[in-house]
Structure 1
Amino acid sequence: MKRKMILPVAAIAALGTLVSVGQHNANTKLRMAEAAIAQLYVDTVNEDKVVEDAIRGMLNELDPHSSYSTAEETRALNEPLSGKFSGVGIMYNMNNDTLYVLSTVSGGPAEKVGMRAGDRIISVNDSVIAGVKISTRDIQHKLRGPKGTHVNVTVLRREAGSSDTVQFKITRDDIPINSVDAAYMVDSKTGFIRLNKFAEDTPKEMREAISKLQKQGMQQLILDLVDNGGGYLNAAPDMLGEFLAPGSMVVYTEGRNSPRYELKAYPKGKKPLFAEGRLVVMVNQYSASAAEIASGAIQDWDR
């Protein structure tokens, strides 16, 4: 006995379209594939999740630095740069299912117990987070919590060619979000400023720190960007406006299908606060993103 399979006319039309989809461009293929899944798949499909998973899959084929985050995840990632929260006080990056500590917040709970930039977090409380698929939102949910509560964190630390696991019991606290950790005079002529990240208020904090040290006689400056994991890109040229000649190019972007876009340094006032004195910048392997751009521009302009 022969069996017949009857499909609606619309489904037949959709299948016919997919057969010829090879004649169309990549965008059309993606739209047709999503439409076919939504209309023809036997079970109910969460279309938003399917699309987001497809985006993540595409970006995974590019490089370790290309990733996708939802609107909610992006807000949570930006919170340490512009808001207030309680947690352990680290900046981190998820790379190939491994959570790397980029830097610890100066004076924060993680720094107090000895966590360092470069540590790889293996587990949080009883949950393993290394080598498993876990979202940024879930990681933040595990690390953050009310002030005074505790969280147990196990990290893999590599030193001198060997690896060891280190366990920390961290007491969550309100996280200070200041960019400038320290600003003081090393001697009668030399100032020192330690910058931990590039956040929304970084340019303002730097101007205040420079002005304070100049009143104390600063003629030369040491700018410490060690372990600075970066942050907001625009904060770098805004800060460098106080060190470079007005209009100095800091960085530009240019893509195969996008025009050149330049970010230039301009002072907040009529002229830069510190454009003449000797400037020394300290960096290490954990100075990244906006910190790399800032130090590179200072070097390129022979400051």
Structure 2
Amino acid sequence: MKKTLLLIITCTFIFVNTISAQYAMSQGTKKLATTMTLIERMYVDTVDDEKLAEDAIVAILKELDPHSSYLSAETVADMNEPLEGNFDGIGISFNMISDTLYVIETIADGPSERVGLLPGDRIIAVNDTAIAGVNMNTRDIMKRLKGPKGTKVNIKVLRRGVQKPISFQIVRAKIPIYSLDAAYMIDDKTGYIRLSRFGATTVAEFKEALIKLSAQGLQNLILDLEGNGGGYLNAATELADEFLDKDKLIVYMEGTHQARTSDSTTDRGLFEKGKLVILVDEGSASASEIVSGAVQDWDRGLIVGRRTFGKGLVQRQFPLPDGSMIRLTVARYYTPTGRSIQKPYTHGDQDSYNKDLIDRYNRGEMMNADSIHFPDSLKYKTLVNERTVYGGGGIMPDYFVPIDTAEYTEYSGRINAMGIIYRLSLQTVDSNRKELLKKYPTIEKFKKEYEVSDELLSKMVKMATDDKIEYKEDQYLRSKEQFKRRIKALMARDLFNTEGYFKIINDESEIFKKGLEIINSDTEYNKLLQ
């Protein structure tokens, strides 16, 4: 028995030493490999070695920076879809309200539209499995609706005005996922483009939108990156290339084990002249910060809004045999002036890092630029006009816009949190879609002429009361105009598209309004840029 035990231990160490010789393992890595091998071969009980290894990987990565992470095979598949630009499915956008799937929009010429599915329809069953009223989560519903191109899925739908459920058989197809939420002319010479992510199709979508707006007279551009958490690095560098002329450094990356690499511009930019304003906020991160940083460092345009998130770490994805993945930080990225945008963090302390935005709010940073402090060691000069900019904590805008709390109340916050405005707008459109479209056939006519009635607001108050939200008249009156704008914007999205939503909701955005004011004033624009 002793000989057998000695043989096992000897073989274990031979195995570990062989691997360590091949990959130059450190003593710590050898220790971990030895431990796992001993557990697998000698532990008293049967163990799930895959789960044990997974738990160990997660624990190790937590001790590094906040962005190194382990992703399960299922998470990897879900993560890649929004960036790759397409997936196989039935071609709808939907929302879950009160445990029911409501169709918000059918993709133009997609499989659902071709069989007659309509916005407002409620899908209650997929392949004879009930999905309404059974507390099924969104991921499980998506699994049932998605599937390989060319396969069929049967669904049952409830439609307003039709007594019995309607059955549809839909042939799944390749469904595009767009990065561009809106692209329209604000006035005769100023265009607006909003991007929600940086994916495989982002730059192509941007170019198409820019060409369309240029044909309508575009001279100035507002690029909205608020809430854009990033995506593919190459999409960011290619977008920055659209604004900067040839041979301008966009970004460079460097790490302890990664030599410096960089990206520079070509001569193919479509908008290298004309005034440019980029809108950002605390939700703008990573790729959004690369574009904003390059534009700011080269004095090509102005950044308007609030300090961005501050993610300046570059992750490389390492696939594992079972389809899972390790996303490991391998470098930092730097803007053309040499700024690292990464905000401070403590190794192993992800809680504090994740609470950073709350801490900013509590320190007053969201309301007052004077509450934001950068040390002199993080001060840099832009490359053309030598303006002062800062690194080490996101992109600080050229013009700071405080968060607007004038119309916010506890009452409005609870109504928004409970999704009451969304439910109300959806029900209103669902009940009156034909009449509304007949009276307001275009988003422009709807925006100009439609008014949210007091009767509709009273219905909102009743819905809130039914959901145990106490009515507070002073707070209702303070938030009344906000309620009206948001109801109208959501109705526009359900009646038309996402662009319709932004055409209305931007009217309440202080960042948008200030960006428009600056870009339309040569004096203010040039003063801030110089």
Which bracket does the TM-score occupy, shorter chain normalised?
0.5 to 0.7
Q: Secondary structure at the match of 1:260?
A: strand
CA distance in 1, matches of 2:262, 2:221: 27
Give the C-alpha shift of residue 67 in structure 1: 1.2
Name the counterpart of 1:260: 260
Provide the C-alpha distance between the structure 2 equivalents of 1:182 and 1:12, rounded to a whole number of angstroms.
Answer: 64
Counterpart of 1:233, as a letter, is: L
Matched, 1:287 2:287: no
Give the Cα separation in 1 of the matches to 2:12 and 2:230: 48
| Aligned twin of 1:230 | 230
Query: Alpha-carbon deviation of 1:12?
Result: 4.3
Q: Cα gap change, 1:211/1:15 in structure 2, threshold over 3 Å: closer, same or farther?
A: closer
**In the TM superposition, what is the alpha-carbon distance from 1:203 to its structure 2 partner?**
0.7
Task: Give the Cα–Cα distance (whole angstroms) in 2 for the partners of residues 195 and 260 of structure 1.
Answer: 29
Shift of 1:149: 9.0
SS of 2:69's partner is coil
Q: How does 1:186-201 map to 2 (within 5 A)?
A: 186-201=186-201
Q: Distance in 1 between matches of 2:68 and 2:181?
A: 30
Higher share in strand: 1
Shift of 1:7: 4.8
Is 1:8 the counterpart of 2:5? The answer is yes
Aligned residue pairs: how many?
235
Q: Secondary structure at the match of 1:217?
A: coil
1:178 counterpart = 2:178: yes
Query: How far 1:231 moved relative to its partner?
Result: 1.7
Q: Cα distance, 1:252 vs. partner?
A: 2.1
C-alpha contact 1:221 1:277 (8 A) present in aligned 2: yes
Bigger Rg over Cα: 2
Q: CA deviation at 1:229?
A: 1.9
Q: After superposition, where does 1:43-62 map in structure 2 within 5 Å? A: 43-62=45-64
Displacement of 1:294 in angstroms is 1.4
Determine the C-alpha separation between the residues in 2 that align with 1:196 and 1:214: 21
Could you say what secondary structure the match of 2:70 adopts?
coil
* 1:170 corresponds to: none
Amino acid at match of 1:197: R
Structure 1: where are the runs of 5+ without partners? 91-105, 113-124, 129-138, 151-173
Question: What fraction of aligned residue pairs are identical, expressed as a percent?
Answer: 42
Deviations 1:112-162 (A, max 9, x none): 9xxxxxxxxxxxx8699xxxxxxxxxx844776539899xxxxxxxxxxxx
Q: Which residue of 2 aligns with 1:115?
A: none
Question: Aligned partner of 2:57: which letter?
Answer: I
2:180–2:194 contact (8 Å) kept in structure 1: yes
Aligned pairs (5 A) from 1:201-212: 201-212=201-212
Report the more deviating stretch, 185-194 or 76-85: 76-85
Task: Tell me the SS of whatever aligns to 2:254.
Answer: strand
Kept after mapping to 2: 8 A contact 1:222/1:280: yes
Cα 1:28–1:5 change in 2 (3 A) is closer
Work out whether residues 227 and 285 of structure 1, in 8 Å CA contact, stay in contact via their aligned partners in 2. Answer: yes
Tell me what 2:37 maps to.
35
Inter-CA distance 295–60: structure 2 relative to 1 (3 Å threshold) = same
Residue aligned with 1:8, SS: helix
The answer on whether the counterparts of 2:250 and 2:263 sit within 8 Å (CA) in structure 1 is: yes
Say if 1:211 and 1:127 are closer, same or farther in 2 by CA, change over 3 A: closer
What letter corresponds to residue 37 of structure 2 in structure 1? A
The structure whose residues are more often helix, as a share, is: 2
Match of 1:101 in 2: none
Structure 1 letter corresponding to 2:209: A
> Following the alignment from structure 1 to structure 2, what is the Cα–Cα distance between the partners of residues 142 and 255?
42
Residues 14 and 145 of structure 1, relative CA distance in 2, 3 Å threshold: same
Given that residues 88 and 143 in structure 1 are in contact (C-alpha distance below 8 angstroms), is that contact kept between their aligned partners in structure 2? no
Instruction: Give the TM-score normalised by structure 1.
Output: 0.64
1:57-206 maps to which residues of 2 (within 5 A)?
Answer: 57-82=59-84, 83-84=86-87, 85=89, 140-141=139-140, 145-146=144-145, 177-206=177-206
The answer to whether the 8 A contact 2:278-2:292 is kept is yes
Q: Aligned pair in 2 of structure 1 residues 12, 201: CA closer, same or farther (>3 Å)?
A: closer
Change in CA separation of 1:286 and 1:188 when aligned onto 2, cut-off 3 Å: same
Q: How far apart, in 2, do the equivalents of 1:26 and 1:73 lie?
A: 29
* Alpha-carbon distance, 1:222 to partner: 0.4
Q: Which residue of 2 aligns with 1:271?
A: 268
What CA distance in whole angstroms lies between the structure 2 residues aligned with 1:54 and 1:89?
38
The residue type equivalent to 2:178 in the other structure is N
What secondary structure, in the 3-state scheme, does the structure 2 residue paired with 1:292 have? helix
State the distance in 2 between where 1:107 and 1:265 align: 38
**1:158 corresponds to:** none
Q: Which moved more, 1:68-77 or 1:287-296?
A: 68-77
